Structures are given as C-alpha cells and as structure tokens.
Amino acid sequence: MNVLVINGPNLARLDIRDSAIYGDMTYPQLVAHIENAAQTQGFKAEVRQSDDEATIIGWLHEAADKKLPVIINPAAFTHYSYAIRDAVELVKSPVIEVHLSNPLAREEFRHTSVISGVANGTIGGFGPNSYVLALIALKALLA
C-alpha cells in the first residue's frame, strides 16, 4: 500500500538547522530513513517536501482523491494554517501528524496545533523515529 509523507517548510534544510532540536540527519538521509521504515511496515512511501502552503494543500487534495493515507509534518504551518487543516480534514484515509522535535517542550507558540484536531494522532519528539512510529501506527489503523 502507498502512503504519502508530506514535509512542510524548512525541513529540506535539516543540514543547517539546529542539530540539538532537529538531529544530525540531512533531508536526503531522512527520506531514505522513512522509505526504509515504510518498506519494513509493508508500505511504499512517497516522500515530498514543500515550503509552499498551496503545494501542500494540493498534495492533500490528491491524497483525498486517491484515498491515500498520509503522514504529515506540517512544520511551522502546524500552528496557524487553517487552510492545511481544512485540507487534512478532507482526507478520509488515516492521517498522522509528526514532528521531529516535541513542540510542547519548545516555545509557547509551538504548543498549539491546528492540525491535531483533524488527524488520527500526533507523534513528536522522537527525531526521525517519529516517522517510524507513525508508520507502525498507520499499519495498525489500516489493519
């Protein structure tokens, strides 16, 4: 089964972001990590990244139309993009929100997610393994 993994703004720049928060993986390494974990769980992951809100919304519409499950790291859009929230709500297959860091352990403005209320669940704080845990949860949701 296919799964769409959507990554939001600045994630393609992991190599220059604060490694204390985001870890030491580059974005290509993260993509490989996700693809390998997906294969282990019986999925084929298509991993995409955009800094553009409209592009992410289009991908969510595509997932809704194709009935694809989604793992989404909305990054900064987590906290204020009602447009992405509304697009997530259109996806009737399972949707899991992920974060490399734990937003609740960071600045107060990061404590609010407008996405969580329309996702099946949220996993954060486990670095790249947040995606692995999301894939395990997704497999259970689809069983």
Query: Is 99 annotated as catalytic?
Result: yes
Flag whether 79 is marked binding. yes
How many angstroms separate the CA atoms of 85 and 10, rounded? 19
Flag whether 101 is marked binding. yes
Which residue out of 27, 80, 99, 131 is catalytically annotated? 99
Which residue out of 22, 33, 82, 131 is catalytically annotated? 22
Flag whether 81 is marked binding. no
Flag whether 50 is marked binding. no
Flag whether 113 is marked binding. no
Burial track 15-35 (b if 16+ CB lie within 10 A, e otherwise): eeeeeeebbebebeebbebbb
What is residue 69's three-state secondary structure? coil
Nearest Cα to 72, choosing from 22, 20, 118, 126? 118
Query: Is 33 annotated as catalytic?
Result: no
Flag whether 86 is marked binding. yes
Q: Which residues, in sequence order, are CB contacts of 62 under 8 Å at separation 6+?
A: 4, 68
**Cross-strand pairs, 2:** 44
Binding-site residues = 73, 79, 86, 100-101, 110
Binding-site residues for substrate = 73, 79, 86, 100-101, 110
Q: Which residues are part of the catalytic machinery? A: 22, 99
